[in-house]
Amino acid sequence: MQYVATRITADGRDGFAVEAGRYRLIAARACPWANRAIIVRRLLGLEDAISMGLTGPTHDQRSWTFDLDPGGVDPVLGYERLQQAYFAFDPDYPRGITVPAFVDETTKALVTNDFAQMTLDMSTEWTAFHRDGAPDLYPEHLRDEMAPVMKRIFTEVNNGVYRCGFAGSQETYEAAYDRLFVALDWLEERLATQRYLMGDSITEADVRLFTTLARFDAVYHGHFKCNRQKLTEMPVLWAYARDLFQTPGFGDTTDFEQIKKHYYVVHSDINPTQIVPKGPDLAGWLTPHHREELGGRPFGDGTAPGPVRAGEEVPAGANPAS
């Protein structure tokens, strides 16, 4: 899929300058790509600068909808469907209506849905509005090393689970399955001796991996047939995922109920009954992970974000910490 590649930058070179209060992040807790943006916004403390609207966990063929809001209408944009922001940008918009998306509150039109660039720009272009103690999620001295790591995570893990789930034949499924678990084995080995993907501190690479791991046992293992092992049966990755989940910004933005509802209801071709599994038991996410024994400083020279913004909390019962 092609994305609208317009960027919001400090110098406004694409026509959209960084400006507090101008842009609204439209996201869905159910979506792994959108979950990344929610995490990064929270870690960097951009809540005052960038407002956030959340869609419901399900959608039809037309669009994500704002059914979590009173009257089913986003209170800032006045829209029932994210599609309306896309059509305000291009009345004949030909591609899928995706989250996350940045919408200009002044025009109520889409600015960009380029999910991979959006989070990097929040780290590099929005620095004037970062909170005191915001971590450097995209350190300049690590970018060359991060690029191939993030590329492999994207192609083999983030997309790899989908390649399994939507395979059209036994042969393509088995090839996708093998590719996925080769990559997960590589990650088990990489993370056995270092706390995070790039060393001692959390970076954008960890955010990108976490949102797939958080969905693995709840969705991908069964729904997408990624069933060589559960995450809970991969000792290093399971400890790493728990370490991140228990870090402010990760677990407190994760909604397992919405995650399950999205996949099992929307993918009716894979799950015709639309029955949503009751499990798995989530209590394990809060068990000790012992990753601190590897050392490291989760936020580098920065600090942890404070409490979740009022009104942005994950609903009670939707994750084990709530």
**What is the pLDDT of the chain when averaged over all its residues?**
97
**pLDDT band of 322, cuts 50, 70, 90:** low
What is the CATH number assigned to the segment(s) 23-129? 3.40.30.10
Q: Give pLDDT, residue 63.
A: 86
Residue 76 class from Cβ within 10 Å (0-12 exposed, 13-18 middle, 19+ buried)? middle
**Is it the case that residue 309 has pLDDT exceeding 90?**
yes
Catalytic pick from 3, 93, 162, 173?
162
CATH architecture of 142-294: Up-down Bundle (1.20)
Name the residue ranges covered by the structural domains of the chain.
Answer: 23-129, 142-294
Active site residue 31: yes
Q: What is the pLDDT of residues 54-78, one digit of tens each?
A: 999 998 877 899 999 999 999 999 9
Residue 280 class from Cβ within 10 Å (0-12 exposed, 13-18 middle, 19+ buried)? middle
Percentage of the chain beyond pLDDT 70 is: 100
Active site residue 3: no
Catalytic pick from 23, 31, 79, 177?
31
**Range with the poorest average pLDDT among 17-26, 58-67, 124-133, 180-189:** 58-67
Percentage of the chain beyond pLDDT 90 is: 95
**Is it the case that residue 225 has pLDDT exceeding 80?**
yes
HEC profile for the chain?
CCCCCCCCECCCCCCCECCCCCEEEEECCCCHHHHHHHHHHHHHCCCCCCEEEECCCCECCCCEECCCCHHHCCCCCCCCECHHHHHHHCCCCCCCCCCCEEEECCCCEEEECCHHHHHHHHHHCCHHHCCCCCCCCCCHHHHHHHHHHHHHHHHHHHCHHHHHHCCCCHHHHHHHHHHHHHHHHHHHHHCCCCCECCECCCCHHHHHHHHHHHHHHHHHCCCCCCCCCCHHHCHHHHHHHHHHHCCCCCHHHCCHHHHHHHHHHHCCCCCCCCCCCCCCCCHHHHCCCCHHHHCCCCCCCCCCCCCCCCCCCCCCCCCCCC
User: What does pTM read for this prediction?
Assistant: 0.98
**Is it the case that residue 264 has pLDDT exceeding 80?**
yes
**Is it the case that residue 321 has pLDDT exceeding 80?**
no
Q: What is the pLDDT of residues 90-132, one digit of tens each?
A: 999 999 999 999 999 999 999 999 999 999 999 999 999 999 9
**pLDDT band of 316, cuts 50, 70, 90:** confident
- Tell me how crowded residue 107 is: count the other CB atoms within 10 A of its CB: 12
Mean of the pLDDT values across residues 15-32? 98
> Is 64 annotated for ligand binding?
yes
Q: Give pLDDT, residue 3.
A: 94
**pLDDT band of 317, cuts 50, 70, 90:** confident
